[in-house]
Amino acid sequence: MCRARLRSWEADALKHFGYEIDVVINNAGASLIGAQSLIADASAARTVYEVNFWTPLALSAAVIPTMIALGSGTVVNVTSTIQSVPLPLLGGYYGSSKSALAQATRALRLETSRDTNSGDRSGFRRHRHSAA
């Protein structure tokens, strides 16, 4: 995903929603049916990773600086239970890309934690509109 396009989408969203971003939900998904041993790293397999892994990370990276500046916000990266249950002909590319996204999301939560010394790993869950 092109960074310039992401910046443009973010700018449009900020303008539309009054220069606030409360939540971003990355729920895109692509799959590929077939034997990994035959598909290998074909362009279709790379597309699964582009959609399921790289694009959510790029979208997150585009909005997190704004969320940090605002002091709140939530990024939700939707993964799948198939990431821990390998399925022949279906789960290889899809499951591994969603597993990679889950791991990257855990690391991202630690990176954006408000207090890395106290063990608080809540990230930016608190919203300006919530009571907490």
Catalytic residue set: 93
Query: Residue 132, Cβ neighbours under 10 Å: how many?
Result: 5
Task: Check if the beta carbon of residue 2 is closer than 8 Å to that of residue 52.
Answer: no
- Which residues neighbour 94 within 8 Å (Cβ) at sequence distance 6 or greater? 29, 30, 31, 32, 48, 52, 80, 82
Tokens 């809540």 belong to which residue?
122
Task: Check if the beta carbon of residue 92 is closer than 8 Å to that of residue 36.
Answer: yes
Q: What are phi and psi of 7, to 5 degrees?
A: -60, -40
